[in-house]
Each structure stands twice: as C-alpha cells, then as structure tokens.
A and B are shown apart, each in its own frame.
Chain A
Amino acid sequence: MSQEAIVHGVEWTAKELFVYPNEFIYWSIQIVMYPYMTGLVAGAFVLSSLYHVFGQKDLKEIAQFSLVFSLALLPVAALPLLLHLQQPLRAMEPLLTPHFTSAIAAFGIVFTAYGLIVVSEIWFVYREYFVHQLEVLKGAPGFWNAQRRIAYKVLTVGARDVSEEAIAVDHKAAKILAGIGIPVACFLHGYAGFIFGSVKANALWMSPLMPVIFIMSAVVSGIALCMLTYIVIMEWQAFRKRRQGGAEAAGDIKGAEKEIISKATRYLLGFLIAAISLELLDLIFRGYTAMKSWDILRTVMYGKDFINIFVLQYTLGNLVPFVLLILPGLTIRRTVVALLLVLFGVFMMRWNVVIGGQAFSLSFAGYMHYHIPVIPHSFETFKEGVLGALTVIATPFVLFWLINKFVPSLRRDIGEV
C-alpha cells in the first residue's frame, strides 16, 4: 500500500479548488450514524414516556415496546464513536481522564447515566413478570428451561415480593424514572448537537440552535422507527394468526394498531413541524446576516448539496411524508411509506450536517467531496464505509430480538397497566 493510502481521509476525499493540505473529510459515515442512532434512542424513550409519565393510555403497547427498543438501540449509539476512533483500544480514556472543557468528555457519563435509567425503568416495569416466570419455569423439563430460570433468577435480583403494595411501588418508580429520563434523553441528544454546534471553526455547524434542532429531529426519528418496527411486527403476527385460521384475532390486532398509530402520528407531526421550523430559521438567519462564511455556505447549500438538502432532506424526507400523514383516510400502508421517508429525511439531515459541514474548506475558497467506500479493501474502508454503516443499523434489531426473549415487550398482557 502506498503511503498516501494510509493517511486517514485521503481514501474518500476529493478536493476542489483551494483546500489546505491537511484538510480531509475526517469525520465520515460513522459520525453521521452517531447522532442518527443517538436520536433514535432518545426519540424511542420520549415516545415510551408519553405513556408512562403523561398517561397517554392509548400509547401503552407501543410505549412498552419503545422502552425495550430504546435499550436495544442504546449500545448502538456508542458503537459508531468506537468505530471511528483511530485508537479504539483507548476508548475508555474519556472516562479515566475526562477533560471537561471538551463537549465529548462527558459523553461516557451522560450515556451511562441514561443507560442506567433505561435499564432500571425496564426492570421496574417487568419485575413482576420476572418473578412470575420463576414460578412458571419451576420444574419445567429441558436444559434450556433450566437456563432460562437461572436467567430470570438473576433478573429479579432477589426482589420477589409481588404483593399489591410492592407492585404499586414498582409502578411509581417506573413513572419517576420515565420522568427523569425525558430530560436526560433530551440532554443526551441535545448534547450530540452541542458537540457540533460548539465547533467555532466550522461555519455550518456553529449555531446555538443546533442542540435544539437535534432534539426535535431525534424525537421525530425515534417515534418513526418505533412506529415502523411496531407495525411490521404486528402485521407479521396478524399474518401468522391468519394463517392459523384465526381471522378474528387478526382483526383485533388491526384495530388496536390503528388507534395507536394515529395517536403516535400526531406527536410525530408536531415534532416534525418544530424541527423544520428551527432548521429553516437557521437557514434564513444565515442568509440574512450574510457573514463572511455565507458566500461559501450558499454555494454548498444551493449548489453542490442542493439535491441532498432541498430535494432529499426537505422535500422527500419532510414534505412528502408530512402530506402523506396529514391527508385523511390514513392507511397502514401509507403510514409505512411515510415513516420510511421520515427516517430517510432525518438521516439526510445528519448527513448534510456532518458531511455538509466538511464539504467546504476552512479557506472558504475550496470544496471537499465525500465518496463513501462501498466495497471495502481494508478494515478502515469497511468500518468507515457502507458496510460499517449497515452493521450499525442492523445491530439494534439483533439486540432487540435477544432482549425480547427475556422481556416480552410485545405481549399485551404483561407489564404496567
């Protein structure tokens, strides 16, 4: 391999006009994935809290699912950061010697705190079930049942009191945790926005609105992903029931689903409007004040990245799903299309921030283009390429499948009522 190839960033950066020699796209696809996945975590949690804290009863089923799903998403928020480090073996250093003037330094702390909240809330919601499983599996034949029982034994942490008072305490604790969790989830993600918004050297990123924009779009994407996954799973269950001849049961699922979906859609639209308004405000403000950087920003936004920003993000990712969701006679199929577009739109927003912020040189006199590695020929082009991003996207679903084996978030008869 030539020496050129081992300089980080050379592989996927194409320079145009006058760019300083050391400038490359240093933050690539994994840094796009980081705020995207963090946003999904935060959004999923907020959706679950709408039920737990604000008592939106009709959201109950999707709330249980969202809570567990946000746990599955949680490790994946840190995964992209790990994958993009040049020295991944030193990943624990921010916890060992945190340098608190850095916005990244507190990531480990905020992330861990949030993780503890999610895990304990799930524990309080499902403790009764864990204890119940101990009884069910007692003396059940087979090696795996014995293992499962041991797992549940560990999960109860010895707290096996299922008296009415104890359960009431559980519920109260879950509610309090969900309440604390909302600001922490928003902080976790607003903080991701701060990491970008506070970089004064970057003309596109530097904006106090960045954290707020990130939170709003996070909730949008989190709700969208939870709704989508929920619909897919429910449809699958209904399909299986139909095949077994239970048309009636399938009808039940359909009905329940519609109500939840229409309710969640309303929240989704609210947050979507907030996100778009803030983004447009940011754009208008930059154009109106026309600071030194505006000349180059304008050529990037209205020229080089026009398709990415205005066609893919705003039109296809925001406007089209907005219209699809707001038109009367909403069907599940139309919802699915809209949700996919919303998720795509938020992804493009992250892309346009992270990659778009590096699309122009610090000299304001040149451009950089990002060519994402598709077919990897080294570990670096794997982890910072399409395959690395797909790995990150796939992981939460695998984790959810695993967690759901012990915490059946999709069963209607279990959990807090």
Chain B
Amino acid sequence: MSCSRRDFLKDAVSGAAATVLPLSAFVFLTTDEAKAAIAEAKVRWAFLVDTTKCVGCGLCVTACKNENEIPYDAPVTRTWVERYVVTTDGRTLADSPDGGRDGFTTGTIRDEEIDPENVAKAFFVPKLCNQCDNPACVQVCPVGATYQTHDGVVLIDREWCIGCGYCIMACPYGVRFFHPEHKVADKCNFCYHRITKGMQPACVDSCAFGARRIANLRDPDDPVTQIITTERVAVLKDEYGTKPHVFYIGLDASVR
C-alpha cells in the first residue's frame, strides 16, 4: 500500500478529529461544579460543644480511642480535652495530658501547683476535627486521598494516602496525626460510620453531661441546629478562612 504525504496528513487529521471529538463530550468539573450537579445535600453535619457543661472527665477521649481503634497509649488522639486556668494575676495556663484521657484530677499544671484561691476562672474545652467547609487539609493533599463528602465531613482514604504529612501541616487546629499502625494520616470524622447509620458519635454517646452534640444543619427541626442558629455560638480560629463547623458555647478569649 502506498501512502503519499498528502494521504498521510489527511488521515492523520481525520484520525485526530475522530479521537478528539468524542473526547470533547467529556467535561472536567471543578469541585464546586460537581457539587452543584449533585442535588443539594439533605445533610450537613456540624457539632456543638457546650464548654459550660464539660467537667473534663475524659470519657469521650477513651470512647473515641476504643471506637476508632487508635492505640490507647499512643500519644495521639482524634479528640481531646483541654483545661484552661486563668489566674487572678492574669496568667493563662493550659494543659491536656494524654489528651485529657484520664481526666483532670489534680490542681497541678506542668508541675506547677495552682492555689485555688488564685484561680480567676477555669474551664474545659473539648476539641475535635472542625469538618471545615473550606478545608485546608483537602486543598493540600497531593493525591486526593483526603476529601470532603457531600454531607460536609472530611474523610481519609487509608488505601491511597502516601503519608507525606502536608495535611497535618496545613491544619490550623492540629487535629491530624499519623496513625501509629496504618502509617497514614488520621483524624476525627464525627464517627462517620455511626452517624450515617442513624447513631451518635462515640464521644457524644459517652458524654454524661451533654457537652457534646451532633447536628444536621439542613434540618431546621433538629434541636441542636436550633441552638446553633438561635443562640450565640463561636468557632475556633476563624481567621484562617477554613469555615469550621464545630460550634462552641462559652468560648473564652484565652482559648487557643
């Protein structure tokens, strides 16, 4: 078979057109476009922490470690409780030994005995992943192993995470860590395996004081959503523009 230069060019052009035209039927969607294409989700998970109710018992931390198989004695945790003590002379002391897992049973913070007479105010602040609307961790993941679900929770694909640690660096809240056994990034996901089956997160179930509650912001009848929308609540570190979705009652200026 002979093939002149003219024939070759002709075939090449029509061949390329035949390949490219069907391909143009495919459209690459940006994340927002993809989200808009899927109908508005009926669920947007959020969390409400009432710091005025927290007594710092640490049962939530224990429950979380057991539920989510985070080695009990490893110094990493998906949720933790911080203790804040503001003294009468204006100093702020904070600690969270073992993430507050064993409760706060002494008046000592880092070997410093605090005289109860000198305490101006003291309180506990439970922390967990903020399931941000604009998550910095998702933005920086080089392989897309961490992603936001349509109902707002940020998840991690343990099979695909390369363990570079960029998401850990990007999170302003310090909620991420490397799982000691799986060797991939790990963090709180509001117990996604439970909430998607109608159950409460382990920490919520274990809290005897009602300091931790989960909400569906898209459901106006949800009692927790009503608190978030009608009462004065605050979020942590909103200056980073991450739009966190863990709301706090009774947050103080001294909270880090």
A residues neighboring B (CB under 8 Å)? 2-4, 6-10, 17-18, 20-24, 26-27, 81, 84-87, 90-91, 93-94, 96-99, 101-105, 107, 195, 199-202, 292, 361-365
| CB of B9 within 8 Å of the partner chain | no
Q: Is the interface of A mostly helix, strand, loop or mixed?
A: loop
Bound-state Cα–Cα, A97 to B184, Å: 17
Judge whether A87 and B183 touch: CB under 8 Å. Answer: yes
Q: Which of B136-153 contact A (CB under 8 A)?
A: 136, 138-145
Instruction: Say yes or no: A3-B140 contact (C-beta < 8 A), given A22-B175, A91-B162.
Output: no
| CB of B77 within 8 Å of the partner chain | yes
Contact count band on B: 35 or more
A203 to chain B, nearest CB (A): 10
Instruction: Say yes or no: A94-B80 contact (C-beta < 8 A), given A7-B180, A87-B183, A102-B139.
Output: no
Instruction: Say yes or no: A85-B163 contact (C-beta < 8 A), given A17-B110, A18-B95, A22-B177.
Output: yes
Contacts of B241 in A (CB 8 A): 200
Judge whether A104 and B142 touch: CB under 8 Å. Answer: yes
Contacts of B177 in A (CB 8 A): 7-8, 22, 24
Instruction: Say yes or no: A101-B139 contact (C-beta < 8 A), given A20-B96, A21-B98, A86-B183.
Output: yes
Instruction: Say yes or no: A99-B142 contact (C-beta < 8 A), given A22-B177, A26-B178, A86-B184.
Output: yes
Contact of B170 among A8, A20, A199, A292 (CB under 8 A): A199
Instruction: Say yes or no: A93-B143 contact (C-beta < 8 A), given A22-B174, A87-B162.
Output: yes
Judge whether B74 and A105 touch: CB under 8 Å. Answer: no
Contacts of A199 in B (CB 8 A): 140, 169-170
Judge whether B143 and A21 touch: CB under 8 Å. Answer: no
Bound-state Cα–Cα, A93 to B161, Å: 9
Judge whether B143 and A365 touch: CB under 8 Å. Answer: no
Instruction: Say yes or no: A8-B178 contact (C-beta < 8 A), given A101-B139, A102-B139, A105-B142.
Output: yes
Bound-state Cα–Cα, A259 to B54, Å: 74
Judge whether B110 and A364 touch: CB under 8 Å. Answer: no
B164 to chain A, nearest CB (A): 6
Instruction: Say yes or no: A201-B171 contact (C-beta < 8 A), given A4-B74, A22-B77, A86-B184.
Output: yes
| CB of B173 within 8 Å of the partner chain | yes
Bound-state Cα–Cα, A105 to B180, Å: 25
B residues neighboring A (CB under 8 Å)? 71-77, 80, 92-96, 98-99, 110, 127, 136, 138-145, 160-166, 168-178, 180-181, 183-184, 239-241, 256
Query: Considering only CB atoms, which chain A residue lies closest to B254 in the complex?
Result: A365
Judge whether A85 and B164 touch: CB under 8 Å. Answer: yes
Counting chain A CB atoms within 10 Å of each CB, the highest count among B71, B140, B160 belongs to B140
Judge whether B94 and A102 touch: CB under 8 Å. Answer: no
Judge whether B140 and A26 touch: CB under 8 Å. Answer: no
Judge whether A21 and B80 touch: CB under 8 Å. Answer: yes
Bound-state Cα–Cα, A180 to B104, Å: 62
Judge whether A362 and B139 touch: CB under 8 Å. Answer: no
Contact of B160 among A81, A86, A90 (CB under 8 A): A90
Judge whether B94 and A18 touch: CB under 8 Å. Answer: yes
Contacts of B74 in A (CB 8 A): 3-4, 6-7
B119 to chain A, nearest CB (A): 17
Query: Considering only CB atoms, which chain A residue lies closest to B166 in the complex?
Result: A104
Bound-state Cα–Cα, A361 to B173, Å: 10
Judge whether B141 and A102 touch: CB under 8 Å. Answer: yes
Contacts of A8 in B (CB 8 A): 177-178, 180, 183
Ranked nearest first, the 6 interchain pairs of A and B with the lowest CB-CB distance are: A86-B163, A20-B174, A99-B144, A363-B256, A104-B142, A201-B172
Contacts of B174 in A (CB 8 A): 20-23, 361-363
Contacts of A104 in B (CB 8 A): 140, 142, 164, 166
Bound-state Cα–Cα, A200 to B96, Å: 25
Bound-state Cα–Cα, A96 to B145, Å: 12
Instruction: Say yes or no: A90-B162 contact (C-beta < 8 A), given A21-B99, A362-B172.
Output: yes
Contacts of B239 in A (CB 8 A): 292
Bound-state Cα–Cα, A102 to B144, Å: 9
Bound-state Cα–Cα, A213 to B246, Å: 37
